Structure 1
Amino acid sequence: MNIKKNKPVIGISIGDINGISAEVTMKALLDGRLAKLVTPVIYAHGKALTFYKRHLNLDEFNFMQIKSIDDVHHKKINVINVVDECPEVIPGVETREAGKMALAALNLAISDLKEQKINALVTAPLNKNNINSEELKFVGHTEYLTAAFGSQKSMMFLVSEDMRVGLVSGHVPLREVVHNITQERIKEKLTIMLKSLETDFGILKPKIAVLGLNPHAGEDGLLGSEEQEIISPVIRAFKDRGEMVFGPYASDGFFGMMHQKKFDGILAMYHDQGLIPFKAVSFESGVNFTAGLPFIRTSPDHGTAYNIAGKNIAEPGSMRAAIFQAYDIIKKSEHWEEED
């Protein structure tokens, strides 16, 4: 067995510098436990971090400016400038320049991922509105990263100590959800979830709950036929293969009775069906993990929070959890020697 002694390198794309991304990243990296486990590389600009260091009185946050990932220092917090000139930092204000920098940070991190120079990517929150343009339709990190690596299939997977929720239909308008609920897509997402639970989370025989699409899971066809015609046949097919897949469950009763505690994973049919209960329980500790990609990507489960940007009240718990989660998954797939 080849034991790796250098700490795994985790890239962090800074997201929107006018939101809380820099604040939660810096506060999370002040946790001494992380310093012993990982080598962080922040894709940002040193001037933006210096601004927040002074503005938020984070005097203990120190970093090393490096030109590229090849210069990484394993005993420091590393920062790579992703643009030549740092945009003006205006906490709480959406600017086109901040969007350009967020995209530049993400793209450089993707480039280093492709060259296998970082072991995982943690994406800080960005604003889709100031990234989108006529040339680029950006609907989310999950879709962008999946496209960047070709035709690999992926799944948005929200994870915490309390539950793990995957989505069949992600960032699409609600009126289009029903067209995305097909047997093929449910099979695809269940396959990704099963593999991820086994490989990334070390669960040998995962038990998965599948939610219904309609109120009361269709009420035996009275409130919709998708459960009978689309969802249930897929569940039966997986059961016939020996997989522990159950449902479809009515989501209100399922979460109301706290049944999520009985399962290793939950497959929701659409975005809000899965994310509302997840964030209600795990908002400050939840992690957005993209399952099915050829690399490890995690993110905090919140957004840019312009309303509290620069006020020194943003909680770093979800960002800290995202970094720890990336490390835990790395440990399960590779062999690292932890420092004393």
Structure 2
Amino acid sequence: MMHALFRFIFCWALAIAAITPAHAQETQIKGLGRFEGWRENALIGYGIVVGLAGSGDSPRSVVTRQALSNVYARLGAVISEADVASRNVAVVVVIASLPASANVGDRISVTVSSTADARSLAGGTLLMTPLVGPDGRPYALAQGAIITGGDSFESQLNLSQRNYPTTGRVDGGATVEREVNANLIGADGRLGFLLNDPNFTTASRIAAAINDRHGRIAEVIGADEIRIAFQPGDQDLAYFVSSLENLAIAPDRTPRVVINERTGTIVAGGDVMISSVVVSQGDIRVTVTAETQASQPSFIDGFAGGIRSLVITNTDLDVERGGNDVVARFPNTSVADLVQGLSRARVDTRRIISILQAVRAAGALHAEIIVQ
């Protein structure tokens, strides 16, 4: 019942999209891409989590013993690795993303993951851990209590685990120690705007909107890039970028049909068109059943040479013809009309997916099909 209701709502929505005129809605440029140089930076560090309730690394972990010995040495206590044996400690890798623009003292969140044989990081505290960038320079220091969102308990060979307790998060647990500023001006003295979805029409519309506002300063380099000239003496860079990213255009939309074969979901715009096509969908199921029997001879006075068991295979062929065979003719129409017509003919969603793929292969579906 719920499946039929879902199919009715889905087809009704597609039908409404098909009969409603498609008007491209204007979108701010900043929602269509980003300026070249404006990006996050990956940070990584290696640290220790303490305070675990016996769920840390086992004493046989050489890395953990060495790391804990080094921590004691930095704090003024000289303890050899052989004397370190605690399951309340775990060696972890700490990762974070540094924003494109950050000041000293800003707080960022970090993710902590066990690298040895710890069972859980729940209740642990991350000790001070430097986070370095790809250039090997430290940019932040991480420290704080870990929130895992899971737990693991073991007693007398009984184990209970919820979610994945060997990975946790410290919200706002890292402090930025080195200032970072994005460089938006390229070597040619121009800004680069990169589209998330490369499209020549959208790129041309962005360049036209910029030229209408600021004069002929924008040039389309490709389907994914626009170069914009900037004169430092004219205005401040921040105000100039703000005026650019708040311009609104109507982006071009590439016709697409998205199909999820696992869930049987079809998503398509109401303006995705199909040329005249005839669909013949037959439901024929062929089942071959083979049954093998062996006849074993019995002997009263011992075994006789040259006599073997007799193996007999019986095959049963069954051909089943479904009652939902469909032959339908569609003139120039949309995907919404096609799906609605097939649904009225009681064709289920997975067969509709196969039909759409066949129509696309025949060259009648004028859209890109994305199968997930």
The structure where strand makes up a greater share of residues is 2
Larger radius of gyration: 2
TM-score normalised according to structure 1 size: 0.19
The structure where helix makes up a greater share of residues is 1
Q: Which has the higher contact order (CA 8 A, sep 6+)?
A: 1
TM-score normalised according to structure 2 size: 0.18
